[in-house]
Structure 1
Amino acid sequence: MAMSGGNDDGEPMMEMNTTPLIDVLLVLLIMFIITIPVQTHAVKIDLPVSDNSDPPPDFVDPVKNRLGITATNQITWNESPVSLNQIKQYLAQTKSMVPEPELQFQPDPLSAYLTTDQTLAVIKDSGVTKFGFVGNEQYGSFNKASRPPN
């Protein structure tokens, strides 16, 4: 009676039995999968803390504030003209508020780059976290109108 792959003439089998090797590799693979740490996805949320400090002045809105630059390079805070030093003070007030109000920045397309850059530097230095650009659609129409024809 012939075994798998062997001859009746008594010669040794020339093929290696790979079944035990595959079994060992499968056991190692299972052990490796078991020992990998489970990845947990965590979302860090800063919960509000009760603050018994004085209410902020009326000039700083507790929900959202709009910082703009006009075509004449006048900086405005909620439609009122302000200086860079006043912006620093207002941003410090908003940073201390819980929750921090949103800051919307809208420079005019015709305003000077230097004024916009200085204002953005003040905003960055203040550490404001809720910040966004608004009115970006005006730049699309501005660029199309100022572009020379092809």
Structure 2
Amino acid sequence: MRKSTQRLVRRGGDPEVMMDINTTPLIDVMLVLLVMLIITIPIQLHAVNLEMPVGVPPSDMIKPEKVQIDIDEKSIVYWQGLPVSAAELEEKMALLAQQPVQPEIHLRPNKDCSYAVFANVLSTSKRKGLSKIAVIGSEQFVK
């Protein structure tokens, strides 16, 4: 007799009891649970809900003036195109800080200027309370 037929037929002609777990009911239960989970999950929205302000924006917005400060390769500081000393720079920045709407300061250093002069301009503006400072022309420093 073959081995497979020996396993099925025992003494007295009764089939042998299978000792393996029947996984079919387990798979059925898992599939039912999966379907229930999919049905009960709410549909996700791909939108961001924002609370936007209501009303009309003010029409008379005052745009701040722009002050151009340049530092050339000899580390000379220019205020709106005119050379200034360190004392004059402090005076002009103190006057700007007293204005109700602070102007934007566009600081444009040359790549060959002294870092100490550049740092002095930045620290002076901070001491005087000016916060709208932009360093422009930085593309010259990229190699």
Q: Which TM-score band applies after superposition, normalised by the shorter structure?
A: 0.5 to 0.7
**C-alpha distance in structure 1 between counterparts of 2:70 and 2:133, whole Å:** 13
Q: Is the 8 A contact 1:92 1:126 kept in 2?
A: yes
Question: How far apart are residue 106 of structure 1 and its match?
Answer: 0.9
In structure 2, which of residues 112, 116, 121 is the aligned counterpart of residue 110 of structure 1?
112
- Say if 2:125 and 2:131, in contact at 8 Å, map to a contact too: no
Q: CA deviation at 1:98?
A: 2.3
Identity of aligned residues (%): 25
Residue pair 2:71, 2:77 contacting (<8 A) in 1 also: yes
Partners of 1:128 and 1:99 lie apart in 2 by 11
For the residue of structure 2 that corresponds to 1:98, the secondary structure is coil
Q: Does 1:127 align with 2:129?
A: yes
For 1:87 and 1:64, locate their aligned partners in 2 and report how far apart those are by CA, in whole Å. Answer: 15
Name the counterpart of 1:64.
Answer: 66
Q: Residue 81 of structure 1 is aligned with which of 60, 80, 83?
A: 83
- The TM-score normalised by the length of structure 2 is 0.53
Structure-2 separation of matches of 1:73 and 1:103: 18
Partner of 2:98: 96
Structure 1 or 2, whichever has the larger Rg, is 2
Q: List alignment gaps of at least 5 residues for structure 2.
A: 1-63
Kindly provide the amino acid, as one letter, of the partner of residue 80 in structure 2: N
Q: Which runs of 5+ in 1 are unaligned?
A: 1-61, 145-150
2-side partners of 1:63 and 1:130: how far apart? 11
The alignment of Structure 1 onto Structure 2 pairs a total of residues equal to 84
Displacement of 1:125 in angstroms is 0.9
RMSD: 2.3
What SS does the aligned partner of 1:110 have? coil
Instruction: For 1:74 and 1:133, locate their aligned partners in 2 and report how far apart those are by CA, in whole Å.
Output: 16
TM-score normalised per structure 1: 0.51
For residues 120 and 130 of structure 1, the distance between their equivalents in structure 2, rounded to whole angstroms, comes to: 11
Contact 1:84–1:122 (Cα < 8 Å) also in 2: no
Equivalent position amino acid for 1:125 in 2: R
Q: Secondary structure at the match of 1:65?
A: strand
**Equivalent-residue separation in structure 1 for 2:107 and 2:133 (angstroms):** 8
Match of 1:56 in 2: none
Q: Is the 8 A contact 2:97 2:130 kept in 1?
A: yes
